Amino acid sequence: MTTERMTLERLRAVIEAYGASGRAGPWPSARPAAALLAESAAARALVTEAAPLDELLDAVPAVAPTPAMRAAILALAPRAAQRPGDGWRGLIDALGGWRLAGAVLAASLVLGIVSGGWLLAGQSAESSPDLLQLALLDDSATEY
């Protein structure tokens, strides 16, 4: 709640923006305006002067947009640009589409399996630790 007093210049700006009746939108400072209208004849004259314009504007019927007008407005509306790095779709588009992306993902899976097999092929059963002991974080696994 504002405690400052409204001036005639501020009241004139509010009337020009929202109309004399305040029905065109919320008056941002209704209480100070009401206090100024109660004590100032010049403020009441501003409202009386703006009232005929408000009545003329209120008399204009609302026009419903036609489907063609709506389509033209929506066609001119700016669209959000799709960023190339936007999630999985961006990655798949960067890889050349669904078919190429599937092939690349399959190739990476095969490469991972083959390279893992080559790494484990060099270890003997005696030198590799028991994976269950490692998974349970058992203290008897002294290798780690």
Domain boundaries, the chain: 8-59, 89-135
Q: Which position has the higher pLDDT, 45 or 124?
A: 45
Rounded mean pLDDT of 113-118? 79
Rounded mean pLDDT of 45-55? 91
Quote the pLDDT of residue 85.
56
Per the CB < 8 A criterion, the answer to whether 43 and 11 are in contact is: yes
Rounded mean pLDDT of 77-91? 71
Quote the pLDDT of residue 67.
94
Quote the pLDDT of residue 143.
59
Quote the pLDDT of residue 57.
86
Q: How far apart are CA 1 and CA 76, in angstroms?
A: 41
Q: What is the pTM of this model?
A: 0.42
The set of long-range contacts for 68-75, using a CB threshold of 8 Å and a minimum separation of 24, is none
Quote the pLDDT of residue 90.
74
Per the CB < 8 A criterion, the answer to whether 60 and 28 are in contact is: no
Q: Which position has the higher pLDDT, 127 or 32?
A: 32
DSSP 86: S
Q: Among 40-54, 70-84, 103-117, which is the least confidently predicted range?
A: 70-84
Quote the pLDDT of residue 62.
86
